Amino acid sequence: MRVIIKDDKQQVAEWAAQYVAYKINHFRPSPKRPFVLGLPTGSTPLGMYAELIKLNKAGKISFENVVTFNMDEYIGLEPSHPQSYHYFMFENFFNHIDIQHKNIHILDGMTKDFAKECRSYELAIKEAGGVHLFIGGVGEDGHIAFNEPFSSLCSRTRVKTLTESTIKANSRFFDGDLSKVPTMALTVGVATITEAEEVMILATGANKAQALKHGIEGGVSHVWTISALQCHPHGIIVCDKPATGALQEATVNYFLDVERNNF
């Protein structure tokens, strides 16, 4: 696994956006051969989205032949709800870039048939040829997408019950009111993510320090689902210094050393 350590969250945003632009441009996507991108929500990727919008407006990257699959969606929130992940994605990214709406995929949290929705999502990813680059954030308890602790590392898209810790952490988007936070979500599985050709997880802030410690230095375990990245041939964690706060000094020095000349 690669661990890219940057000074602050702005540098993380810039590095991640440049990397996405590089991957898409290098791939030279076409209508018949689109680039398939997995996308997250949350506060962490906001800076990356802002940078990607800038690159798109500057003509340095186009999303015209990019197909996207979002990681997750709350159950019970209309797409027009300001805290739904549908709303988040259009507000913070899709409305500002040249992506074609038919290429956007987000799980439908209002569906009456969850099993069918999840099956169709997995099928759509397969039909698109698989994800080239899956980008994610990480929860304080190490969850990726909504794969809460003890999610199977072989899991696929399905319904998940959110833990108290996640509901508490996400209540900041719901006026701090825990009762307004949905308790369930649809989410891609750990295996759906790790099946991508490449996985890039962004982590900023000291509150992610334990997740990184367990994900990087701990063993592979369903307790911290981010640790599944250790089994991926092309896993990258892009983080700021505060997020490395619980890592051993030698670990930090190792990654700073080996990545010093890399993109």
Catalytic machinery residues: 72, 141, 143, 148
**Rounded CA separation 170/135 (Å):** 19
- Convert 211-222 to b/e letters by CB count within 10 Å (16 or more is b): bbbbbbebeebb
Q: Categorise residue 205: left if φ over 0, alpha if ψ from -120 to 50, beta otherwise.
A: left
C-beta of 25 vs 165, nearer to ligand GLP: 165
C-beta of 145 vs 200, nearer to ligand GLP: 145
CB of 23 to ligand GLP, least distance (A): 20
Contacts of 26 (CB under 8 A, 6+ apart): none
C-beta of 27 vs 90, nearer to ligand GLP: 90
CB of 60 to ligand GLP, least distance (A): 25
CB of 230 to ligand GLP, least distance (A): 18
C-beta of 44 vs 84, nearer to ligand GLP: 44
CB of 25 to ligand GLP, least distance (A): 26
**Largest distance between two CA atoms of the chain:** 51
C-alpha distance across the termini of the chain, in Å? 15
Give me the residues that bind ligand GLP (CB under 6 A), please: 40-44, 71-72, 136-139, 145-146, 166, 170
66-70/104-105 β-pairing: parallel
